[in-house]
Amino acid sequence: MLSDEELNRYARHLVLREVGGVGQAKIRRARVLVVGAGGLGNPVALYLAAAGIGKLGLVDDDAISLSNLQRQILFKTADIGRLKVEAGAEALKALNPGVEIEAHAVRLTAANVMDLLAGYDIVADGSDNFATRFLLNDACFFAKRTLVSAAVTEFEGQLATYKSHEPGCPCYRCLFPEPPPPGTVANCSETGVLGAAAGVMGSLQGLEVLKEAAGLGTGLAGKILTYKALSTDFRIARLPKDPGCALCGTAPTITDLSRHG
């Protein structure tokens, strides 16, 4: 049952026939782990906290710097130097005290990822490096967790939902079998990123997480959305499962997280 305060706070969700009290209760039961408290993770966490997600975990070991504030809208100038997950948890708690926020001030590793995933149902990847992206993909497959993954660089973004533990649904490795060699792909500090483009992708990512949590509409599993901000171009392509995938294919060669060191 929703309290009087919740009936009022979520009134605009509750009048939506597709959400209603049943959908809002599902949102309240959902536990979401947001990996990376940056340009993507910030809007994801803000919208999920505002929407009344039951439990929200933030994973990041970075401190806030001045150059983050151009796109990381969870933080204020006075937060510079603080841990992102601490300042973030405080801001999210202030937005919605009804949401349980867990701050994990760690870097995601093969040693801690399975323990972290155990406490959550849905994972939102907003990380900025391939090592974390592949580790999360593999770990979510083994832990049978839905992974909503976004990426943004310069003026372009990508978004996909991976349910590789479900029949016929691809994983990230079905698209990219292996990480690119270190140093061959520039990161956001080298290439730059338009702050609001990260906001678009993070908002879409938060929305897909909400849809998964509340069972709304059609998700993005088996599809990939690309966004080009300069031409305002959204495209959705099919992302088929690769039967030869080393992780989720018919004869897997990746059977644990040992390759992640």
Cα–Cα distance, 239 to 173 (Å, whole number): 11
> Which amino acid does the sequence have at 131?
A
- 248 lines the binding site for Zn ion (CB under 5 A): yes
Residue nearest Zn ion, Cβ-based:
245
Contact between 245 and Zn ion (CB under 5 A)? yes
83 binds Zn ion (CB under 5 A): no
CB of 215 to Zn ion, least distance (A): 24
Distance (Å, whole) CA 56 – CA 92: 9
For Zn ion, give the closer residue by CB, 49 or 160: 160
Instruction: Specify the residue for token string 């520039």.
Output: 186
3-state helix, strand, coil in the chain (%, to 5): 40, 20, 40
Closest CB 170 distance from Zn ion, rounded Å = 5
Which burial class, exposed, middle or buried, applies to 46 when counting CB atoms under 10 A from its CB (0-12, 13-18, 19+)? buried
HEC string of 230-255 equals: CCCEEEEEECCCCCCCCCCCCCCCCC
Residue closer to Zn ion, measured from CB, 174 or 210: 174
Interface stretch with Zn ion, choices 65-73, 85-93, 116-124, 248-256 (CB under 5 A) = 248-256
Q: In angstroms, what is the minimal distance from the CB of 177 to Zn ion? A: 8
CB of 103 to Zn ion, least distance (A): 31
CB 111 within 8 A of CB 27: no
Q: Which is nearer to Zn ion, 20 or 168 (CB)?
A: 168
Does position 133 bind Zn ion by CB under 5 A? no
Q: Tell me how far, at minimum, the Cβ of 204 lies from Zn ion, in Å.
A: 23
Q: Which of residues 162-181 bind Zn ion (CB under 5 A)?
A: 171, 173-174
* Cα dihedral sign, 246-131-212-101: positive
Residues in the site for Zn ion, rule: CB under 5 A? 171, 173-174, 245, 247-248
